[in-house]
């Protein structure tokens, strides 16, 4: 269980690590169209176009690459794929779930 979870989440982490440099390159080559794409994302989320453009400009001014990674790719530092944590969580869950029938058997008359 834990090994398969590790492999699964590790492949997700690999995908994230591959996408970030590609996004950084796109940002360096054509920042105007990337800003328009970010604005379009906010419009799709329900912002008025003018407000969406202002939000995009503010977020770019605060943390340019972070805004693109978070909103365009769905990658943030807080929610990055952590394979070891996922595998340990799966192992603990499996162990607890396996103990339940044993506990019921021991407790019941």
Least Cα distance to 64 among 23, 95, 97, 94 occurs for: 23
For residue 106, CA distances in Å to 61, 92, 94, 100 come to: 62, 21, 19, 10
- Looking at the 3D structure of the chain, how many domains does it have? 1
Give the pLDDT mean for 64-92.
82
Rounded to a whole number of angstroms, the CA Rg of the chain reads 21
Helix, strand or coil, per DSSP, at residue 108:
coil
Q: Which two tokens stand for residue 99?
A: 């103990």
Q: Is the pLDDT of residue 40 over 90?
A: yes
Q: Is the pLDDT of residue 29 over 90?
A: no
pTM of the model: 0.61
Burial class (CB in 10 A: 0-12, 13-18, 19+), 87: buried
pLDDT at residue number 68: 82
The range of the structural domain enclosing residue 31 comes to 2-107
Q: Which residue has the tokens 């029938």?
A: 101
């Amino acid at each position: 269980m834990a090994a398969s979870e590790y492999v699964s989440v590790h492949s997700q982490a690999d995908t994230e690590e591959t996408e970030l440099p590609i996004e950084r390159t796109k940002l360096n080559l054509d920042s105007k169209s990337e800003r328009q794409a970010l604005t379009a994302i906010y419009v799709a989320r329900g912002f008025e176009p003018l407000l969406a453009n202002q939000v995009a400009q503010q977020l770019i001014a605060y943390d340019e690459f972070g805004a693109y990674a978070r909103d365009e790719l769905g990658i943030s530092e807080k929610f990055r794929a952590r394979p070891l944590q996922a595998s340990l969580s799966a192992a603990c869950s499996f162990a607890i779930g396996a103990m339940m029938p044993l506990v019921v058997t021991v407790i019941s008359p």
